[in-house]
Amino acid sequence: MFEFFRSHTRLLLALLVLLIIPSFVFLGMDGYTRMREGANAAVATVKGQKITQAEWDNAHRNQAERIRRQMPNVDAAMLDSPMFKQQTLDSLIRERVLLAAANDLHLVTTDERLQRLFVRDPQFAFLRNPDGSVNRDVLAAQGMSSELFAQRLRQDFSVRQVMAGIGGSALATDAVAGAAFDALLQQRELQLQRFEPRTFAPKIVPTDAEIEAYYSDPANAERYRAPEQASIEYLVLDLASVEKGISVSDDDLRKYYAENAARFATPEERRASHILVKAEAGAKPEERAAAKAKAEAILARVTAKPASFADEARQNSDDPGSKAQGGDLDFVARGAMVKPFEDAVFRLAAGQTSGIVETDFGFHIIRVTAVRGGQKKGFDEVKAELLAEVRGQLAQRRFAELATEFGNLVYEQPDSLKPAADKFGLSIQTAPVVTRSPAPGAAGPLANAKFIEALFSAENLRNKRNTEAIEIGSSQLASGRVVQHQPARVLPLAEVRDQVRAGVVNRKAAEQARAAGEARLAELRKAPETALGPNAVVSRAQARDIPPALLDAVLREPADKLPAFIGVDLGTRDGYVVVKLTRVLGRDPIAADAGQVRQQYAQAWAAAEAEAYYTALSRRLDLKITAGSTAAAAGVSAASAPR
């Protein structure tokens, strides 16, 4: 058969051409055309100019890459999320709107102004040469020419001018800012009476009809819906599992021990004293000869009377650092001193004195007074440590080899994990309840969103096949399969009867609490002098455990006529609250000082005006959006954006 193929090569090539080219012409060209059309499709237009899908994709890639460089450990799934892609589109649209506005308003940055801004702005200091010119090498490292950089810089400065006038023109006098913040940070004195559902609940006994009606109410259906879930089995290939199959002989360990013997020895240190007769390396020969003669005379005295070493050092040594200590240098290790000095120190035993040792500093007389260290841990002492280390290194190498085999095996035998478990010595693990979102406290594969997503893919749910080998961490691969799948469903009443009954009780108790509260409110309005309890002063800065909805109602209530009475329904949990508003006080003194208030007000007002101006520009420049759920950073929705 193979001889036939070799003999008819040209015939086979002709046959392949006849089969492949027509399919490419009729299918491939059409697919290529659709791909080109998709890349050039407009996702938005500004003043008739398209922003294409390809431009959006490119901007998204660039933005994701910038974030990865700044935060290497960022979650890759977040960078590929619809929300992040939408933010990229919003930024791209905003840039195009402001650029079109700059062109319409003839906001051009001249060469002179561009040069002046570049030279003076601190943020460009790393790009400037000493003479103020641009550093082309730095630009080249970032993939830009000086011409492209100048073009982008000119465009950036021109676009800034569009919003600069609006953002920098907000006025915030003390009176205006004070009035706004007085309303926001005002304090009010009040009295409260609460009507809580829990006080009414014990007396409520719901009927079967009420329970069935509550369960059947479509508004309550989601409360009793069991989420989609699956029972799964999975394998994890990691360094720990690979290590289990690795054995290391004693001979190999001893060899490794010998190669790394220095690691298991305590560095030897010696305590030394010295007497220095200074003679610089560049001194005249006669000066060095005189210094050496002096050192030899000192050595003779020290040799005759060893106990005089310290006194000789104090009187005659030229080393100011050790002279006062009788020449003592404390303990020194190898590498700490110049080589001739070090060699002499580590030749001597404790109590021995050297001869004349010559260095670039002069002539030394050295005495070693103590020796410590140098002990070496035996093989048996470090065997366990060595074994763990060697097995870890071998496992790391072996994992790289096994990862490909593992991925191939779970793919080639997709109906079971057992072949892979047997081959790699792994245990098949199970999880009886897994949902589409990782459960709180989950670990390993069950905490990995990509692994969960693969399990719940349509094909794997339908065919109960293995997922591909998925990287769930550093040197960690996992594959799983769905054993049993249960779609989301509404639980039968029999299973959730107690929950439904509690829901009926809560609702009826809240209704009774509201009725009692409304009755009390009516009484108070007829007798406004009635007190509800102790006075309390509240503000937005000091809510004093008052729920946000209640605080908002209290601070919104008109205070032109006091006392004022308010009833606030806080729902089935907190019930109904009756409030007597007795006094309106000034601004809470702890909220902010006058300077901060004025600055914050100016910033907020400038941001609001700039956003309103941008929205107006978007409409005037005929912004149209054909992709995304939000229109632009201005907040124009895709539905309301001008078409």
pLDDT confidence of residue 344:
92
Answer with the residue of higher pLDDT: 382 or 278: 278
pLDDT confidence of residue 178:
66
Show the DSSP H helices in 105-203 as ranges: 111-120, 136-141, 146-167, 174-184
pLDDT tens column, 237-249: 999 899 888 888 8
pLDDT confidence of residue 635:
37
Res. 284: pLDDT tops 50: yes
pLDDT confidence of residue 24:
39
Which segment of 4-8, 174-178, 620-624 scores lowest on mean pLDDT? Answer: 4-8
**Inter-CA distances, 273 with 175, 362, 371, Å:** 79, 15, 13
- Burial letters for 619-643: b for 16+ Cβ neighbours within 10 Å, e otherwise? eebebbbeebebbbbbebebeebee
Measured CA to CA, the distance from residue 354 to residue 348 in angstroms comes to 7
pLDDT confidence of residue 583:
92
Confirm if 465 and 485 have CB atoms less than 8 A apart.
no
How many residues are listed for the chain in this entry? 643
pLDDT confidence of residue 12:
40
Per-residue pLDDT band for 308 (boundaries 50, 70, 90) equals very high
Q: Across residues 319-329, what is the average pLDDT? A: 91
Average pLDDT, the chain: 83
Q: Across residues 545-572, what is the average pLDDT? A: 91
Show the DSSP H helices in 346-438 as ranges: 379-412, 418-424
Measured CA to CA, the distance from residue 471 to residue 237 in angstroms comes to 10
Measured CA to CA, the distance from residue 558 to residue 552 in angstroms comes to 12
Res. 373: pLDDT tops 90: no
Answer with the residue of higher pLDDT: 407 or 166: 407
Confirm if 365 and 295 have CB atoms less than 8 A apart.
yes
Res. 604: pLDDT tops 50: yes
Q: In what order do the strands lie in the sheet with 353-359?
A: 328-333, 269-278, 362-372, 353-359
**Inter-CA distances, 257 with 386, 396, 583, Å:** 7, 20, 83
Three-class secondary structure of residue 453 per DSSP: helix
Measured CA to CA, the distance from residue 498 to residue 62 in angstroms comes to 54
Measured CA to CA, the distance from residue 556 to residue 11 in angstroms comes to 89
In this prediction, what percent of the chain has a pLDDT beyond 90?
38
pLDDT confidence of residue 6:
38
Answer with the residue of higher pLDDT: 165 or 324: 324
Per-residue pLDDT band for 500 (boundaries 50, 70, 90) equals very high
Per-residue pLDDT band for 597 (boundaries 50, 70, 90) equals low
pLDDT confidence of residue 130:
66
pLDDT tens column, 444-481: 899 898 999 999 999 999 999 999 999 988 889 999 99
For Cα atoms 267, 269, 272, give the angle at the middle one, nearest 5 degrees.
Answer: 165
pLDDT tens column, 383-435: 888 888 888 888 888 998 899 999 999 999 999 999 999 999 999 999 999 99
Tokens in use for 458?
């349509």
Neighbours of 155 (CB within 10 A): 15
Whether cis (ω within 30° of 0) applies to the bond prior to 340 is no
For Cα atoms 281, 286, 289, give the angle at the middle one, nearest 5 degrees.
Answer: 75
Residue 498: Cβ-neighbour burial (10 angstroms; 0-12, 13-18, 19+): exposed
SS3 helix, strand, coil % of the chain, rounded to 5? 55, 20, 25
pLDDT tens column, 31-81: 434 444 555 788 899 888 888 888 888 888 888 888 877 787 777 667 778
Sole residue written with tokens 């953002």: 167
pLDDT confidence of residue 29:
40
For Cα atoms 360, 362, 365, give the angle at the middle one, nearest 5 degrees.
Answer: 125
3-state secondary structure 457-513: CHHHHHHCCCCCCEEEECCEEEEEEEEEEECCEECCHHHHHHHHHHHHHHHHHHHHH
Return the biggest CA–CA distance within the chain.
Answer: 121
State the virtual CA torsion across 529, 533, 534, 535 in degrees, nearest 10. -50
Res. 380: pLDDT tops 70: yes
270 forms beta bridges with 332, 371
Per-residue pLDDT band for 20 (boundaries 50, 70, 90) equals very low
Nearest Cα neighbor of 233 from 460, 458, 462 is: 460
Per-residue pLDDT band for 177 (boundaries 50, 70, 90) equals low
The pTM for the full model equals 0.47
Strand 476-486 relative to strand 186-195, pairing: unpaired
Measured CA to CA, the distance from residue 52 to residue 37 in angstroms comes to 10
pLDDT tens column, 189-239: 999 999 999 999 999 999 999 999 999 998 888 888 888 999 999 999 999
Res. 127: pLDDT tops 80: no
pLDDT confidence of residue 418:
95
pLDDT confidence of residue 565:
94
pLDDT confidence of residue 588:
74
- Burial letters for 352-375: b for 16+ Cβ neighbours within 10 Å, e otherwise? ebbeebbbebbbbbbbbbebeeee
- Burial letters for 38-66: b for 16+ Cβ neighbours within 10 Å, e otherwise? eeeebbbbbbeebbebebbeebbeebbee
247-261, 377-391, 569-583 — which one is most confidently predicted on average? 569-583
Which segment of 9-23, 61-75, 572-586 scores lowest on mean pLDDT? Answer: 9-23
Q: Across residues 74-101, what is the average pLDDT? A: 84
Residue 203: Cβ-neighbour burial (10 angstroms; 0-12, 13-18, 19+): exposed
| Contacts for 44 with CB less than 8 Å, ≥ 6 apart | 50, 51, 89, 92, 93, 96, 623, 624, 625, 626, 627, 628
Tokens in use for 411?
């793919």
Count, in order, helices (H) and strands (E) of the chain.
24, 17
Q: Across residues 286-293, what is the average pLDDT? A: 91
Per-residue pLDDT band for 4 (boundaries 50, 70, 90) equals very low
- For CA atoms 231, 237, 240, 243, the dihedral sign is positive
Res. 28: pLDDT tops 50: no
Q: Which helix (H) or strand (E) holds 560?
A: none
Tokens in use for 439?
């459960």
Answer with the residue of higher pLDDT: 200 or 135: 200
**Inter-CA distances, 119 with 159, 184, 257, Å:** 19, 44, 61
- Burial letters for 222-234: b for 16+ Cβ neighbours within 10 Å, e otherwise? eebeeeebbebbb
Res. 556: pLDDT tops 70: yes
Res. 360: pLDDT tops 90: no
